[in-house]
């Protein structure tokens, strides 16, 4: 009989947790009735981190997707009035993407939905366990500690 593979078990647990987080966040989004998909919410959150409107290529790179995927997301969000395409003041061939007032308001709602989902997911853990989990996740995401401190994204 073969011994269980502990790394395989951990990988499966991480995948199951990722799926659970996705399901719970999707449910919290649906309860807020914003009509925004998880992928669109990720684009809105990413867009909010820029100091000035980014190009579609910048968004695709940051989201680690192909530019066509960003075009589809932006099309849907633009139709819903959450973002708008604006010309680049320095290069008329370049289009930039900016949040609208509605997009900013929805972003606040999305933040609340994510917070509620996180509270639901983390409810079984004590404060000490949450701190330990945060440290472990930082190590897995960023690699060994380089003195950068905890991520906040």
Q: Note the pLDDT of residue 142.
A: 86
| Extended strands (E) in 2-113 | 83-87, 95-99
Q: CA-CA distance, 93 to 148, in Å (whole number)?
A: 38
pTM higher than the cut 0.75: no
Tell me how far apart the alpha carbons of residues 40 and 46 are, in angstroms, rounded to a whole number.
10
Q: What is the pLDDT along the chain (153 residues), one digit of tens a residue?
A: 566 677 888 889 999 998 998 889 888 888 888 888 888 999 999 999 999 999 999 999 999 999 999 999 999 999 999 999 999 989 988 999 999 999 999 999 999 888 998 999 999 999 999 999 999 989 988 877 555 554 444
Among residues 35, 38, 40, 76, the alpha carbon closest in space to that of 59 is found at 40
């Amino acid at each position: 009989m073969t011994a269980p593979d502990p790394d395989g078990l951990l990988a499966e647990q991480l995948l199951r947790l990722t799926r659970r987080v996705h399901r719970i966040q999707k449910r919290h989004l649906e309860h807020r009735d914003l009509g925004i998909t998880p992928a669109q919410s990720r684009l809105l959150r990413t867009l909010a981190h820029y100091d000035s409107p980014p190009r579609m290529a910048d968004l695709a790179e940051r989201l680690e997707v192909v530019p066509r995927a960003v075009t589809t997301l932006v099309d849907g969000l633009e139709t819903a009035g959450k973002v708008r395409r604006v010309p680049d003041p320095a290069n008329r061939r370049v289009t930039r993407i900016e949040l609208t007032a509605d997009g900013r308001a929805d972003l606040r709602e999305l933040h609340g939905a994510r917070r509620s989902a996180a509270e639901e997911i983390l409810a079984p853990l004590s404060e000490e366990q949450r701190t330990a989990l945060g440290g472990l996740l930082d190590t897995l995401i960023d690699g060994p500690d380089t003195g950068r401190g905890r991520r906040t994204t």
